[in-house]
Structure 1
């Protein structure tokens, strides 16, 4: 008889075992980490209540029977049920900032984390303080919170149509101590938001073409469809936001949009707006800046 496979005993053995399971189940990545190693290690440390900055020696830790059962169940849910890792841990990170997440919101992941500190401010006048900004389609509130940290003297508006997502955003804004600076609005794009002049209108809207939703990996199908579905070409929300932005921007203001694979469609749809694509480290370059002066003269 063939010898029975030895069950993982240490954290390191579980990590190696989990990586093989990710490949076996062809699990989709990208919601929390881009490699099976990083996501599996994150889940192990979180499930066992260990610090994320644990030293390599932690891999030698032997798991108790109770810990083994917990870890096994987490990986069963993640790999067999395709539950996204962030929904299992009820958290997501953008840089140093932690956000509460659950099935009511899309899992935070955005190139704005990379672009907000340096590239976005270069498109705003150096001699004018940023007084008011808005995050449209705020979801969990993560980008509104990043805006509040980036522009500490600015008023920040956060706009969301889903009441479920707004509840999560309200929690995160309070957790970050920003309830006095970040104002939440239940609105379909900017329709129900009182008229204000913004220095920056930022949005990471739904941009997946409707026909492509059915082909998404199961992990992504577990996210709210409303947060993904961008209509026929992925630009339904973008079109409405750009039309509304004409009356909402300061003369020196900008719209910053993250549109993923809808980048070619946006270039084709709005050549007269001269969208400028910001460079990102991985070369995706799917965030563009559109200046107020272009929108003013746009026939729309």
Structure 2
């Protein structure tokens, strides 16, 4: 038997020695998970004695966390934009940067009273972006697409948990915009953007995310570029494209958007001050070609036929 406070301290030391950042906070989450209580409730229970049936599962989780398995996978859920999402190996762990993107869209780009009528989340993964926006904008029609059926299964599970299954929220397997029918007022995407050569340098935790959701090709922008080429035809007039990117890609992507004719291109920083997001409006449609003289004659100079 051990006191809760003693267990908390020894577990935090164990994680710190194994290179886990925020070791104390991680240990608090694991301990609250095993005890079935809120993390803050632990502070009222420091004198509680823990028995072997409680310590044994905690030891298993501690070992896995010390080996680099993400805390969110061990807990099975993650808090994101005031909702709880199931989180596992099928998709990226939702991160604070992505949550900030949702905040920017809701609070800045589409303020209250003017939400998009139709929106598309490309490479939805767990569904955290699209489903959070669907919850913020109940009247919007939301399409979530991903090339991974495993990821879509996870997104469907989260949609059900949030009560968002139905006519307004649809999930479709699609390679980018291949099966995204119609036009949208907003297309948002957090696509794979890590250059292939950098994948060997990612943290132990990120290495548990599916490679399909990480690898952006030689320069990190292979998949992003494919989206940029096809996005205009899927955006409504003045429709918005919103992207989350790697820490050093905002400038290059902004230049690509400018060459493609996108309007009102802006970048925005994440909470760490890194230019992480790029926003752009749809390029204007090319003018319709003028009617040829032959077309004019076919209308105006056709012979009349007397009755």
TM range, smaller chain: 0.7 to 0.9
Unpaired runs of 5+ residues, structure 1, are 1-7, 30-34
Matched, 1:153 2:139: yes
Q: What is the deviation of 1:114?
A: 2.8
Per-residue deviation, 1:123 = 3.4
Cα distance in 1 for partners of 2:3, 2:255 equals 53
**Equivalence for 1:284:** 274
2:49 aligns with one of 48, 57, 62 = 62
Q: Normalising by the residue count of structure 2, what TM-score does the alignment of the two structures yield?
A: 0.83
Task: Spell out the pairing of 1:1-300 with structure 2 (5 A cutoff).
Answer: 9-27=2-20, 29=21, 35-54=22-41, 56-80=43-67, 82-118=68-104, 122-124=108-110, 129-180=115-166, 181-194=168-181, 196-261=182-247, 262-267=249-254, 269-270=256-257, 272=259, 273=262, 275-293=265-283
1:137-157 residue CA offsets vs partner (Å, 9 max, x unmatched)? 100111111110122210000
Q: Is the 8 A contact 2:97 2:271 kept in 1?
A: no
Q: Is 169-178 or 102-111 further displaced after alignment?
A: 102-111
1:182 Cα deviation from its structure 2 partner: 1.2
Distance 1:111 1:189 in 2: 22
CA contact (8 A) 1:116 1:150 kept: no
Structure 1 contact 119–278 (Cα < 8 Å) conserved:
no
Specify the SS of the correspondent of 1:217. coil
Task: Provide closer, same or farther for how the CA distance between residues 105 and 238 of structure 1 changes in structure 2, counting only shifts above 3 A.
Answer: same
**Bigger relative contact order, structure 1 or 2, given CA contacts below 8 A and separation 6+?**
1
For the Cα contact (< 8 Å) 2:121–2:145, is it kept in 1? Answer: yes
CA RMSD of aligned residues (A): 2.4
Quick one: structure 1 residues 290 and 48, their matched pair in 2 at CA, closer, same or farther if it must change by over 3 Å? same
Rounded Cα–Cα distance in structure 2 between residues aligned with 1:269 and 1:243: 10
Q: How many residues align?
A: 281
Spell out, residue by residue over 1:229-279, the C-alpha distance to the aligned partner (whole angstroms, 9 max, x if none): 111111112111111111011112111101132335434654545641223
Gaps of 5+ in 2: 287-307
Highest Rg: 1 or 2?
Answer: 2
